[in-house]
Amino acid sequence: MSSENLVTLDVKDGIGIITVNNPPVNALSPGVPEGITACFEKAHADPAVKAMVLIGAGRSFIAGADIRQFGKGRVRQAIGDSTTDKLDASTKPIVAAIHGYALGGGLETAMGCNYRIAVRSAKVGLPEVLIGILPGGGGTQRLPRLAGVQVALDMITSGRHVPADEAKALGILDEVVDGDLLTAAIAMAKRIADIRPLPHISSNNARVIGIDPKIFDAQRKSIARRARNQKAPYNCILAVEASTTHPFLQGLARERELFVELENADEARGLRYAFFGEREAKNVPGIPANAPVQAINAAAVIGAGTMGGGIAMSFADFGIPVKILEATQEALDRGMKRIRDNYATSVKRGSLAEGEMTARLSRITPVLDYADIADADVVIEAIFEEMAPKQAVFRQLDAVMKPGALMLSNTSALNIDEIASVTKRPEVVAGAHFFSPANVMKLLEVVKGTETSAATMNSVMAMGRAIGKISVGCGNCDGFLANRSRGPFGMEMVILLEEGALPEQIDKVMVEFGYPMGPVAVGDLAGLDIGWAARKRRAAADPNYRKQPISDRLCELGRFGQKTGKGWYRYEAGDRTPHPDPEVTAIIEQVSTEMGITRRVISDEEILRRLLFASVNEACKILEEGIAYRASDVDVMWLYGFGFPRYRGGLMFWADQIGVKDVFEQIQRWHQLYGARWAPSALLRRLAETGTSFKDAKVG
């Protein structure tokens, strides 16, 4: 689109209608702010224009600055210094007409207007903090003046999208309408054309005077946990604080200083990368985006265990009726009880209304007979991790499911092709790997088997999005992308324990790095018995399987984690706080002695790097095999599946910040020291030799 067409001006009946037309979301890309300014100046100078309407074409008002332009040094200048301030200085009234989203620079532009009208489905917000910056176009100075300091603090530090009705109640919108937006906005513009003096948020100081500075400290305290290691949330608070201590223009200058500190910092770069990585993951190479998509109006889940129940809840939570099938009435009753208990806990906590719980439960139908699920559009098998029983399920599904139904397995590691091979329709079989608890965790790993069709891949990716998941595609191998890339981290962890580390040190290092919980404590939460069973299976199948004697010994003592009150840590009744346990230290030291290892002090830095580099190396192997399609897919999986700190971008982005060459050289040193498990991947070697980042690696 040529830059003149990005923003247009129409004058109708005394009203200048300025329309932004920059699909898909009318971001303020180069040419857009300039276009708004030019159209505004033209309308302002035109004596025939009595008032103006600023509106977005297509699906949205303005979704903010163009995030791709950050780091290029012009974003703040374009938005903050000219357009919004020019609109604010207008002597003719301007109405911002909002549908879709008015986010970031979009809401800031709307706050430069004198009035704001929106359709009921619209949402407004200042989500800059989610990409590591602050509202730099006057938002931190105007929102407190418009909606009050506490509301501004909450909105700006959370980045929350506020629905139109709530925004009206908060004073951010003047009017919410149900009919045609442009018609309503023009009517409003005509109504207020002669009103003087015009309301300008910039000069409305009543709500920022006499504010108790304690509220800023309280806000800092309230965000401390989720804002750990980050700067943007704190700069957001400082900027809002400036609105209460500085006159408007000086407040803007302070906002600018605080913005500049953030724009190019690692935190903002990591979060921007995560934003685009998440969107890029939608595109599975070789799968045309226009491949047909199977609509999901009814779902079925096989297995009412913890995973099956969580998957059924995921459908029910998003309005999709789902049947859950078990082999026995007793197992079905147990599964349904667990689902009811989970919902009841949410109601008790206040995060779910009682009526909503009833509605969700009414969408879940327990059944015992395969014939009852035959008409489902998708079926997800979620029984225990063994090939033969899974194949038996798929034989049954093949016999009953209607033509075209998607037949998916929630396996976290088993071969999709072997599962598909027992059916006459391998093209509709794929992996749909949910993470536990399935109704909470946002990642859906969509695994393409050799025969999986493009339509099936597209449909499963879309299904994930329809139930609020982030779908990421990958190919078929033992453990797929997520668990296979995480495997060496887990193995290195137990080796570090054998060499000299203790659980509490490993957890401290990883929590300080930014994980919400340490990996050892996560093991206790998930239950250690599952891994124990898997290790026994692997050891039986592979004589060279590297044993994990410390983990095995804990399990032999019945220390299965939180559920038994003891695992890597000990727990007091009714309390989830992990307490280091001298009994565990003794077991660890005993195993080290038995293995002939002289324990040593291991630095925090070594722990961090060994855990993560082991996985970086494995991820490179997965990339070079073409099972992962791009480094950013690994990152999205680590963000949503394993709690990797988002402001670090993801595993591979983090490694890129260290530098491929340094990572490679360190891995080579460990290869010499520790042997085969550290053999560097060919891709890693090639990238190091050619000076290519993981992000830019061409793979597959």
Q: Which chain residues interact with ligand 3H9 by CB under 6 A?
A: 24-25, 27, 63-68, 75-76, 79-80, 101, 103-105, 108, 127-128, 131, 135-137, 139, 279
Q: How far is the CB of 350 from ligand 3H9 (least distance, A)?
A: 26
Nearest to 663 by CA among 621, 613, 606: 613
Q: How far is the CB of 61 from ligand 3H9 (least distance, A)?
A: 10
Q: How far is the CB of 52 from ligand 3H9 (least distance, A)?
A: 22
Judge whether 391 and 418 are in contact, CB under 8 Å: yes
| Catalytic annotation, pick one of 4, 41, 108, 624 | 108
Judge whether 104 and 63 are in contact, CB under 8 Å: yes
Q: How far is the CB of 68 from ligand 3H9 (least distance, A)?
A: 5
Q: Which is nearer to ligand 3H9, 63 or 87 (CB)?
A: 63
Count CB neighbours of 367 within 10 A.
14
Q: Which is nearer to ligand 3H9, 64 or 310 (CB)?
A: 64
| Catalytic annotation, pick one of 128, 381, 445, 624 | 128
Q: Is 108 an annotated catalytic residue?
A: yes
Q: How far is the CB of 75 from ligand 3H9 (least distance, A)?
A: 5
Q: How far is the CB of 108 from ligand 3H9 (least distance, A)?
A: 6
Cα 130 to Cα 127: distance, rounded to the nearest angstrom: 6
Q: Is 41 an annotated catalytic residue?
A: no
Q: Give the Cα-Cα-Cα angle 348, 639, 427 (nearest 5 degrees).
A: 95
Q: How far is the CB of 69 from ligand 3H9 (least distance, A)?
A: 8
Q: Which is nearer to ligand 3H9, 281 or 663 (CB)?
A: 281
Q: Which is nearer to ligand 3H9, 102 or 383 (CB)?
A: 102
Rg of the chain in Å (alpha carbons): 28
Neighbouring-strand partners of residue 409 = 381, 431
Q: Alpha helix (H) ranges present in 224-263?
A: 232-245, 248-263
DSSP string across 303-341: --SHHHHHHHHHHHHTT--EEEE-SSHHHHHHHHHHHHH
Q: Which is nearer to ligand 3H9, 263 or 317 (CB)?
A: 263
Nearest to 342 by CA among 312, 299, 383: 312
Q: Give the side-chain half-sphere CA count within 13 A for 439.
A: 20
Q: How far is the CB of 695 from ligand 3H9 (least distance, A)?
A: 16
Q: Which is nearer to ligand 3H9, 274 or 304 (CB)?
A: 274
Residue 71 neighbours by CB under 8 Å, 6+ apart: 263, 264, 268, 269, 272
What φ, ψ does residue 47 adopt, rounded to 5°? -65, -20
Judge whether 398 and 392 are in contact, CB under 8 Å: no
Q: Which is nearer to ligand 3H9, 93 or 136 (CB)?
A: 136
Neighbouring-strand partners of residue 16 = 11, 52
Judge whether 437 and 307 are in contact, CB under 8 Å: no
Q: Which is nearer to ligand 3H9, 291 or 530 (CB)?
A: 291
Cα 531 to Cα 552: distance, rounded to the nearest angstrom: 9
Q: How far is the CB of 106 from ligand 3H9 (least distance, A)?
A: 7
Calculate the alpha carbon distances from 78 to 43, 83, 109, 367 in Å: 20, 7, 12, 60
Q: How far is the CB of 25 from ligand 3H9 (least distance, A)?
A: 4
Cα 581 to Cα 579: distance, rounded to the nearest angstrom: 6
Cα 660 to Cα 682: distance, rounded to the nearest angstrom: 13
Burial 645-678 (b: 16+ CB within 10 A, else e): bbbbbbbbbbbbeeebeebbebbbebeeeeeeeb
Q: Which is nearer to ligand 3H9, 40 or 571 (CB)?
A: 40
Written as six digits, the tokens of 241 are 């604080």
Cα 700 to Cα 165: distance, rounded to the nearest angstrom: 48
Q: Which is nearer to ligand 3H9, 103 or 111 (CB)?
A: 103
Written as six digits, the tokens of 345 are 């806990």
Q: Report the catalytic residues.
A: 108, 128
